[in-house]
Structure 1
Amino acid sequence: MNIDHTYIKKILQARVYDVAIKTRLDYAAGLSSRFNNHIWIKREDMQPVFSFKIRGAYNKMASLPKIALARGVIAASAGNHAQGVALSAAQLGIPALIVMPKTTPEIKVAAVKRRGAEVILHGTTYDDASHYAQQLVKQQGLIYIHPYDDIDVIAGQGTIGMEILQQHSNELDAIFVPVGGGGLIAGIAIYIKYLRPEIKVIGVEPHDAPSLQAALVAGERVNLEQVGIFADGVAVRQVGELPFEIARHHVDEVLLVNTDEICAAIKDIFDDTRTITEPAGALALAGLKQYIVRENCEGRHLVTIASGANMNFDRLGYVAERTEIGEQREALMAVTISECPGSFRHFCHTLGQHTITEFNYRYAYAKEAHVFVGLRLTEGFAEKERLISKLRDKGYAVVDMTDNEMAKAHIRHMVGGHPPHLLDEHLYRFEFPERPGALLHFLTKMGQRWNISLFHYRNHGSAYGRVLVGIQIPHEQLDEFQHFLDTLNYPYWNEINNPAYRLFLNFF
């Protein structure tokens, strides 16, 4: 039998509605008006576990013989898939064991336990949890429920594509789908292309977790060395084997979006639905908006998947902070002005009617002042470029910080930290696992070899804490320090040449 026919049959026979609901396809009136296109949102955030994952998990488990299920199932997950497996197991009356990374936010661990599943916390990443779960499969004879690389899981997610065509039988130009391991886009794409091949199926990934795009470019699955963790629901190093084979034949393209664009999309969905999605849940809309700008299209009929709403409340401050930049309504700049009375007033006069959203400054030098400025935009980033040109024409030295990750995450909260004199300082940005002992592990590994000259940490309610560290390292010890970094096994970036560091934190 043709593989497409096999998937179509499984999608049509999927038993997802024992536990899942047929979610609404909502017309996004605000977005549609703003972008001059017809935009619909498939509301998978309304599922009992607040994400689409329940579909694939239950369909897989319901397809297994009862005798095989008797000993129970096991899964590895940092959140949504875990909740889907736990609820499915409760519905089927079987035991479930979920291995979750120790970095998993407590809200998600508690949600899984409420569903009646046993939870084991192991390791710091999904890969750690998955490997341990596989060991338990062999030891205890449990059935492993894969989050995406399984034909029945893919078929369960494919029922979303079936519902979209049932709910929108008229003209439809494209469907935008978030991509992590690939199970969701594989199920949707194979069903859509089978019945309506003219409809584009477009995947969307974070720019720092492009597992599917990298695989399509390479012509084979690749294992990313590192993935970003803001959109933790799609932070997967390698796309699934089955999803990749489907995607290479049925997915039209994959778009990449940044953190600011995702944050802006979270706000967009809230404005139209009053629902707060998680970052992965708004990922597809961020890609849809990017597509409209790129194609300069009007009057198209476009669908986006709101895939989940398991958002930690303490992440909202960070999302709100980044939304303005993601919507191109704020620019961040480092501007050098004269250190004399009236210079700030003269600078504001030069800005004209532009609203200052923030102005960070501390005295450091007798002749010059470096200020960190946020400015409200009304015409997007084209307005930012005109403003920078205007300032430079007036004699101001300007550095655009709008796309500078360190500046946005740290520097804007630290301006004024010039030391009077500091030798051999090196600056690194880290992602620490958000768990007890992470900092102690860092300090223990480092020992007393080097002095910490700067330390800034921000918690955004995610699995990793963002840390900026200044360390004094004599030149002859740089190789030894590099060995320390290699054995520490924390993601890091050398920021010594970052202009934000030179302007606001370093000694001149």
Structure 2
Amino acid sequence: KIVSCNEELLRDAHSRIPQSSIRTSLSNCNKLLRFEDISAAAFKIQCGVQKTPCTFSRLSKQYGMDIYLKKEILQYTGSVKERGVLYLLTSLPQDQQRKGVIVASDSNFSLAVAYHASELRIPVFVIMSTSTSPTRVKTCREYGAMVISYGTTSKDSQTHARRLAQENGYLYLEEEDSAVYLSGLGTVGLEVYEQVPKLDAVIFPAGGHCGLLAGSAAALKHLNPHISIIGVESESFPVLQQSLKAGHPTEDQACSNHHFYGDVSGVCFGSNSLQLTGKLVDKVVAVREEDILISMLRLLEYERAMVDAEGAIGLAALVAGKLPELKGKRVAIVICSGNLELHLLQQCIARALTLDNRVCRFSLVLSDSPGDISKLLEILAREETRVLDIKQERMFVTSELFTVQVTCTVETRDKIHTAQLKNALLERYPTTLWMER
């Protein structure tokens, strides 16, 4: 079905928001999300955000389809959230812009608010808990926000921010699914359609508030109803799939690994995003954490792109083999976020190399005689492996006297190379213990 410009895609469910709420209730205006709204947003924010490239990827050959990557990581704050935030801020009344805005989180949304509010000369305050990464606090301050550390949890920060908003007249902002915010995010769909002709499918992250998925789906389905819209979320908290099945937004699910998942593990979306998703999204799939990590590795190696979990989750659907129907098709993937903390990058890449069978560990027992270790190293050199670590244990072993237990960690090219190394070691040392990941 072609969605007409004048057709109502949804009505903002403002009745679900208490009138006493201090949050940004742009949905209270009961405005319709139409294609004209998204077009107007694109025109209004065109000078404030990047029109990011959507380029052909080297990963295409590996996955048997034409893959185009929409690199929203090239936005100034490294996230697609800038689009919705800028349109939201420019839509505020001038009186409210003079008073200022306040947010309470360490998410990409807060970074975008900090930067664009400062650029628009809007006073901006960001409340962060004391457990927030120092790097994230420093970044917010560099963007021009007044950062206040308060409380040990995000709930403490939000409560304090609401109190400050009420006392000082600031507008408390938090990510939601108002028509204004969704229209800004929906501009991604317009650009993808313009940049990649004859598209068959577009893959979006479906975690957090699903605003990018819902808004872009509205734009793309208006322009071409035959384009397949696919959302990808984590198996750890498949909130969208459960909500679509239940017919209403489900309760928030606790995430035990918020530092890794970031915005993907955000609070549940609202009725607007759910209605749009139910009408316009063709398929929603869930992927494992392992698939996301390998996707991060693929993007770093093939595209020189450092992304976080939210940015990698779209490609993870292809890594996991969840979309076989896209073989031979022309597919765009939105890489929406690249704000990965440096201390997490090293851990993620190390784990991904292990999951990809390119870093492995084995243990074997050698006689404690001169030359035995060198013979082992000769085998490793002949098999063209890179030794990352080697340890020798003589005291706490259960083997015979005058033997040594050797544990090696090595790097290989790929799964096939790892199998070749394993066979070579077992042939020379039949008791080799291969440590599974």
Q: Say whether 1:257 aligns with 2:288.
A: yes
Shift of 1:241: 4.1
40, 56, 67: which one pairs with 1:13?
Answer: 40
Equivalent in the alignment of 1:474: none
SS of equivalent to 1:39? strand
Equivalent in the alignment of 1:380: 415
365, 373, 384: which one pairs with 2:397?
Answer: 365
In the TM superposition, what whole-angstrom CA distance separates every residue of 1:59-110 from its partner, at most 9, and x where no partner exists?
1121222123332111122142122112222233221111123222223222
SS of equivalent to 1:64? coil
Shift of 1:214: 4.4
Return the alpha-carbon distance in structure 1 between the equivalents of residues 253 and 407 of structure 2.
Answer: 35
Q: Using a 3 Å threshold, how does the CA distance of structure 1 residues 184 and 125 change in structure 2: closer, same or farther?
A: farther
Extract unaligned runs of 5+ from structure 1: 403-508
TM value normalised by structure 1: 0.67
In the TM superposition, what whole-angstrom CA distance separates every residue of 1:295-342 from its partner, at most 9, and x where no partner exists?
285422121122123333333322331231343433456x5x447447
Q: Using a 3 Å threshold, how does the CA distance of structure 1 residues 240 and 375 change in structure 2: closer, same or farther?
A: farther
Equivalent in the alignment of 1:52: 80
Return the alpha-carbon distance in structure 2 between the equivalents of residues 372 and 130 of structure 1.
Answer: 49
- Please list, as runs of the form range in 1=range in 2, the aligned pairs for 1:11-410 lying within 5 A after superposition: 11-14=38-41, 15-28=44-57, 30-177=58-205, 179-216=207-244, 218-219=246-247, 220-228=249-257, 229-251=259-281, 252-258=283-289, 260-291=290-321, 295=324, 298-332=327-361, 335=363, 337-338=364-365, 340-341=367-368, 353=383, 355=385, 358-360=389-391, 362-363=393-394, 364-367=396-399, 373-374=408-409, 376=411, 380=415, 396=431, 401-402=436-437
Give the letter aligned to residue 183 of structure 2.
A
TM value normalised by structure 2: 0.77
Give the letter aligned to residue 318 of structure 1.
Q
Q: Say whether 1:2 aligns with 2:29.
A: no
In the TM superposition, what whole-angstrom CA distance separates every residue of 1:333-352 from its partner, at most 9, and x where no partner exists?
6x5x4474479789889999
In the TM superposition, what whole-angstrom CA distance separates every residue of 1:270-300 from its partner, at most 9, and x where no partner exists?
34443323343223222333247x6285422
Shift of 1:237: 4.5
In the TM superposition, what whole-angstrom CA distance separates every residue of 1:450-469 from its partner, at most 9, and x where no partner exists?
xxxxxxxxxxxxxxxxxxxx
Return the alpha-carbon distance in structure 2 between the equivalents of residues 147 and 339 of structure 1.
Answer: 60
Extract unaligned runs of 5+ from structure 2: 1-6, 11-31
Return the alpha-carbon distance in structure 2 between the equivalents of residues 113 and 155 of structure 1.
Answer: 28
Q: Is contact 1:288–1:304 with CA below 8 Å preserved after alignment? A: no
In the TM superposition, what whole-angstrom CA distance separates every residue of 1:190-225 from its partner, at most 9, and x where no partner exists?
222333333232223344444434434555413213
Q: Is contact 1:137–1:143 with CA below 8 Å preserved after alignment? A: yes
Q: Using a 3 Å threshold, how does the CA distance of structure 1 residues 354 and 362 change in structure 2: closer, same or farther?
A: same
Q: Is contact 2:201–2:230 with CA below 8 Å preserved after alignment? A: no
Return the alpha-carbon distance in structure 1 between the equivalents of residues 433 and 181 of structure 2.
Answer: 52
Equivalent in the alignment of 1:438: none
Return the alpha-carbon distance in structure 2 between the equivalents of residues 198 and 80 of structure 1.
Answer: 32
SS of equivalent to 1:230? helix
Return the alpha-carbon distance in structure 1 between the equivalents of residues 421 and 301 of structure 2.
Answer: 30
Q: Is contact 1:264–1:327 with CA below 8 Å preserved after alignment? A: yes
Equivalent in the alignment of 2:27: none
Return the alpha-carbon distance in structure 1 between the equivalents of residues 256 and 8 of structure 2.
Answer: 35
Give the letter aligned to residue 8 of structure 2.
N
Q: Is contact 1:339–1:365 with CA below 8 Å preserved after alignment? A: no
In the TM superposition, what whole-angstrom CA distance separates every residue of 1:350-374 from its partner, at most 9, and x where no partner exists?
9994836544453412328876554
In the TM superposition, what whole-angstrom CA distance separates every residue of 1:198-257 from its partner, at most 9, and x where no partner exists?
323222334444443443455541321333121323232534443233323333113223
Equivalent in the alignment of 1:425: none
Q: Is contact 1:76–1:133 with CA below 8 Å preserved after alignment? A: yes
Give the letter aligned to residue 50 of structure 1.
G
Cα RMSD for the two superposed structures: 3.6
> Larger deviation: 18-27 or 338-347?
338-347
Return the alpha-carbon distance in structure 2 between the equivalents of residues 370 and 149 of structure 1.
Answer: 59
Give the letter aligned to residue 289 of structure 1.
V
In the TM superposition, what whole-angstrom CA distance separates every residue of 1:117-144 from its partner, at most 9, and x where no partner exists?
2112223444443333233333333222
Q: Is contact 1:75–1:97 with CA below 8 Å preserved after alignment? A: yes
Return the alpha-carbon distance in structure 2 between the equivalents of residues 24 and 366 of structure 1.
Answer: 59
SS of equivalent to 1:42? strand
Q: Is contact 2:67–2:331 with CA below 8 Å preserved after alignment? A: yes
SS of equivalent to 2:203? strand
Give the letter aligned to residue 251 of structure 2.
V
Q: Using a 3 Å threshold, how does the CA distance of structure 1 residues 115 and 338 change in structure 2: closer, same or farther?
A: closer
Aligned length: 397
Q: Is contact 2:205–2:231 with CA below 8 Å preserved after alignment? A: yes
Q: Percent identity?
A: 24
